[in-house]
Structure 1
Amino acid sequence: MKLAFIKYRMICVKLGELFKSDKLLSYYLLNMDTEKFALFFERSNSKGIQLNFIDILAAKLYKGFNLRQKIEELESGFPNYYFNREVIVRTISYIVSNGKEVDRNYILSNLNYEHFNMYWDEVCDCYRKVLDFLFKERFIISQKWMPYENMLIPLIIFLRSIHKTDFSQMNENQYEFIKYWYWSSIFAQRYSSGSNEAIIQDASILSNIAQNKKISDKAFFSRLKIQITSPEDILSFSKKGNVIYKGILNLINFASKGLIDWSNSSQLHLNSKLEDHHIFPKEYIKNKFKDNEQILSLIDCVANRTLIPKITNIKIGKKSPSQYLKELMKINPNIVESLKNHLIPIEIIDGAYDDFYIAFLEKRAEAIFKLIEKYIIAKEQKIVDLFYQPPKTKGNIKIFASYYNKKVEAIFDIETQQVHYNGEVLSVSAAADKAKYNLSGKDNTSTNGWRFWKYINEQNQERYIDDFRKIKK
């Protein structure tokens, strides 16, 4: 027992030393599918190094395609831009899967180095051109402040579908659609959840728009409905990570055709180190309105924020708006134009709002809401009129279904709403029951055929034929 206790103490010491060491390796015997393995990999990293499923893919491709090296070459060739590996990989996945898959399970299971050798240069060239377009047209002021990076994928597919892959080849209607889709998607927070589905749907839609095709899925337009319906709604956004917060700052940049600095009225550009400056400085509000709970809760409101260079922001400090703006006027006599450019009421220079923070917020929120009305709300019906085309109500379409991992095909008559299956003309549900029996041998099934049979719509999406029942009604 004495010897065993000595050994126990020695082991305790060595275990302590082990856990203090720089490298602690763990070995796991894994028995899981690709999706679970990717999740395990991402969550089991050490030392705070951020790794994701793209790192697994990089290892898989290494035999014939060095993903890390290709990214380094791309960024060294265009040092002003940051290229997101996931955006490139998911775009390639969309192309390889014929517009059906962008999720990591498909990517890890199906993509190989041959696909990357085939599409890498083309996708990266389109990626760069999309960034050029977004900066040139003032949709984004810097990549750091881009609301959704995944929205780049549908734009890359749009560009890829245009003749000579050049935005100069799009017509005015296509440009109007891009503007509406871009701002509506941001303010509808379309990519905040289920972004893989949104990527596939929007990439298909934008590809068709590039080819001057119409949209037959009216539900697409309802997905772009925004939640902001009044200036008061704007006051609720105060976190810089929020997509609408970022969207508002970028929309001001877009509407002003490019934000300008406050020190010299020069145009801010993609390399500017920008901060979301408090127009009413934080410390000024805390000192001035320390007993006003409502005001203190609105310190970080987006209506009190604008993007300016970091150095300018530091110089402003804790002063009142009128004080620091008058000081800036000494080095920039055109500061009034800068304020207009940033959608800030010019009366702020004279101290009109120093004691009326809420009044200032309401005034600026109204100005911001007018932009949202102009570029989104007022455009909605025009976009629907230009690009919506009701689905056809006559003719036959190919339909299919899967049951017991087997696929069955048939023909659907849109007008009579009957299914031609296996030499018979049946009702939708009767055809579904018969198909199930032929595939499984079980005859006690009762099926809603409208949610059994599917078709491929013009956006290359799988949809239930229930769509056509709604059309008839």
Structure 2
Amino acid sequence: MAPENASSESLKQLVEQIDAQPPVVLLPEFQRDFVWEMEQTYALFDSLIRGIFVGSVIYGKPSFEMTLRRMDHRPRKGAGSRAKVERLSYTEEKIKHDSQVYGLKIVLDGQQRTTSIYRALKGIDRVYFVVRPSVTAAQVKEDDLEALMHPDHGVQGEDVENAVCIPLHYAFRYMSEAPFDDEVREYFDNETRLGRRLAQAGDDAEAREAFKVFRQMLPKFKTMFEQPQLLSYYLLDMGLDKFTTFFERSNSRGIQLNFTDILAAKVFGNFNLRQAFEDFGEKHPGMPVNRELLVRATALMSGQFADKIEKARILKDLRADHFKAHWEDVTRLYDRALAFLVEQRFVVAVKWMPYDNMLIPLMMFFAEMERQGQGSLTQKQLLFLRWWFWASVFSERYTAASNEKIMADSGILRRVARGEMLEGSYFLRFRPSVGDAEELMSYSRSQSAIYRGVLNLVHFEAGGLRDWTNDGLISTGPLGVKELQDHHFFPKGFLKKTESVQDRPDEVDAIKDCVLNRVLMPKNTNLRASDKKPHSYLQELLKLNPSLKGSLTSHLVPVSLLEDESQSLRVYATLLERGGYVVELIRRETVDAEQQVRAAFVSEAPVRVQA
């Protein structure tokens, strides 16, 4: 933000720009609603009167298609409070024209303050300045507003009958309309509580003095409203990419905005993308809606993004008609791709997907299958998808430059759907990141692809994880089970108590949270473990489940932990043993499987790949 863009304006200018026809100040469609309570409005005007800095408003001059909306002028309750705020859809040409000709600008930061000011000065929200007791008309001429403000009541939302109160909306109207003194007196006598009380009491002397104070106060507010330095702002002239970056980096109060919010505002005039996201969420209760994934998939389905699906390109070129044409297909393909992964046991549930973006190439695969009129996969296609999934996960393929990987893999999977041969060079960057069991011990972040991949691979190898309290399969599915969590089978509390007598005391703290000490199980099973010795709680579970050995084996947990009490004090050796099983599986599904895939899809002689 360049310093030369810093400036200031008066409250009068702000209101006039909001009311202008055509409008000069608008809000982006995606901005949250006006949420300030009245107390915040009182505090804002108290600060303005006292000369306390209230922060700068940031305006933007966008040069791209967008739907904007007017300031919220609805009453807080009653009739009209639920009416929709008017929205205005601007084409790129119109927004550039109105920006250049009329000075159109949008509020990027400061919506609550600007809306609060507007509503108070227009009388939508009633705000009153209470004059301190015993002030005379002569004193009003000499003192400033801060000195004239009541020490206890100051700025509030109620007109009172025992003090002169200045309604800010009337003071603003006075500034605009310049009424005669008899008109001001009529307002004072009939519309203020103090004026009505004095008129009814017939106390002409006190009424005259109170009116003089009321009348002398109005020009002071006129001066305040017209003060050009009262409200500071920055005006940013920005393109679409900078506009998006601004919102992603300046989110406040926990309101998270990203490029899909800007895109929703851009296409709002012809496609309600935000509503489409909400409808998708309602049809998939409990499932997190990955909006960026759905948008990128739509871009690919449109056929207009042959090289890149980066944010800037999508924001610039993805249009409402693309969503109209492909949204239904995108959501259906999303369901099909996810169902495939769950049915084939590649993932336990959507919440344990190693990379959400891996769904996009799979969606493109099924889209191509439908175009080819193929109802089911061939054995070769299933072989390829199995290798591609595990090799992508354990090479951490989508950790960086995921847009490039999405594009490359979408193209390859489309070719696989068409039954085409592939180039051998495609297979060069799928080497697993994990070489041995000790390396696996370093993965303890549940968000990492390797961590999730291990849990999914164990599930895949077992043909479904088995409960420890019975020999039945743990309930999973596309949504997963809320109670299904990754728990320590060497409880942390137990390791803390026995750290000094474990086989590798120096390593216990480092490995206690690693993926090799984690199993997916329902919460109630984990509660049985508590902080007990593994051998002890497993013996208790054996009474409930005589087939416990089979259940442990499904999780690749060494059965010897149940049979040998001393193994509870060999955490390092036990995890190393389990890690050995996992590394063998990783090799089988990646390096070893690649030979078969090459033989099926690459015309050249298979290349021996070194581990």
**TM-score, normalized by length of structure 2?**
0.59
After TM superposition, give the deviation of residue 10 of structure 1 in Å.
Answer: 7.0
- In 2: Cα distance, 1:319 partner to 1:95 partner: 53
1:15 aligned residue: 52
Residues 342 and 263 of structure 1: CA distance in aligned 2, closer, same or farther (over 3 Å): same
Instruction: Report how far residue 335 of structure 1 moved.
Output: 1.7
- Tell me, yes or no, if structure 1 residue 256 matches structure 2 residue 427: no
Contact 2:372 2:418 in 1 (8 A): no
User: Residue 403 of structure 2 corresponds to which residue in structure 1?
Assistant: 196
User: What does 1:365-384 align with in structure 2 at a 5 Å threshold?
Assistant: 365-384=579-598
Matched, 1:362 2:576: yes
Matched with 2:294 is 88
Alignment partner, residue 163 of structure 1: 370
* 2:555 aligned residue (337, 342, 346): 342
1:94, 1:101 within 8 Å by CA — same for their partners in 2? no
Q: Write the distance in 2 (CA, Å) between the matches of 1:374 and 1:207.
A: 25
Quick one: which amino acid aligns to residue 376 of structure 1? Answer: T
The 1-side partners of 2:51 and 2:586 are apart by: 64
Q: Compared with structure 1, are the counterparts of its residues 10 and 323 closer, same or farther at alpha carbon in structure 2 (3 Å cutoff)?
A: closer
Letter in 2 for 1:15: I
Shift of 1:37: 1.6
Partner of 1:413: none
Amino acid at match of 1:92: T
Matches for 1:53-202 after TM superposition, within 5 Å: 53-79=259-285, 81-96=287-302, 97-163=304-370, 169-202=376-409
1:217-271 Cα distance to aligned partner (Å, 9 max, x none): x332111111222222222212212110111011111111111222233322133
Work out whether residues 94 and 100 of structure 1, in 8 Å CA contact, stay in contact via their aligned partners in 2: no
Given candidates 532, 539, 543, the residue that maps to 1:319 is 532
State how far apart, in whole Å, the 2-side matches of 1:13 and 1:177 are. Answer: 71
Paired with 1:24 and 1:70, the residues of 2 have a C-alpha distance of 31
Q: Which of 264, 269, 272 is the matching residue for 2:481?
A: 272
TM-score w.r.t. the length of structure 1 is 0.75
- Which residue does 2:94 correspond to in 1? none
Once structures 1 and 2 are overlaid, which stretch shifts more, 313-322 or 196-205? 313-322
Deviates more, 1:56-65 or 1:269-278: 269-278
Q: Which runs of 5+ in 1 are unaligned?
A: 1-8, 391-473
* Residue ranges of structure 2 left out of the alignment (5+ in a row): 1-45, 57-109, 115-231, 605-611
The percentage of counterpart residues that share the same residue type is 36
Contact 1:158 1:207 in 2 (8 A): yes
SS in 2 for 1:133: helix
Whether the 8 Å CA contact 1:186–1:247 is kept in 2: the answer is yes
> How many residues get paired?
381
- Structure 1 residue aligned with 2:516: 303
User: 3-state SS of the aligned residue for 2:439?
Assistant: helix
- Give SS of 2:252's match: coil
Shift of 1:22: 11
Spell out, residue by residue over 1:353-380, the C-alpha distance to the aligned partner (whole angstroms, 9 max, x if none): 1111111011101111111122112112
Task: Describe the SS at the equivalent of 1:261.
Answer: coil
- Post-superposition offset of 1:99: 3.0
Partner of 1:354, secondary structure, is helix
How far residue 164 of structure 1 moved from its aligned partner, in angstroms, is 6.3
- What's the RMSD between the two structures over aligned residues? 2.5
Pick closer, same or farther for the CA change 1:22–1:83 going to 2, 3 Å: closer
Cα pair 2:557 2:578 within 8 Å, conserved: yes
Provide closer, same or farther for how the CA distance between residues 313 and 13 of structure 1 changes in structure 2, counting only shifts above 3 A. Answer: farther
Kept in 1, the 8 Å contact 2:369–2:375? The answer is no
Contact 1:187 1:247 in 2 (8 A): yes
Q: Following TM superposition, by how much is the alpha carbon of 1:289 offset from its aligned partner in structure 2, in angstroms? A: 1.1
Q: SS at the partner of 1:31?
A: strand
Q: Cα deviations across residues 369-427 of structure 1 (Å, max 9, x unaligned)?
A: 1111221121122212221246xxxxxxxxxxxxxxxxxxxxxxxxxxxxxxxxxxxxx
Q: Verify the 8 A CA contact 2:47 2:54 in the aligned structure 1.
A: no
Q: Secondary structure at the match of 1:101?
A: coil
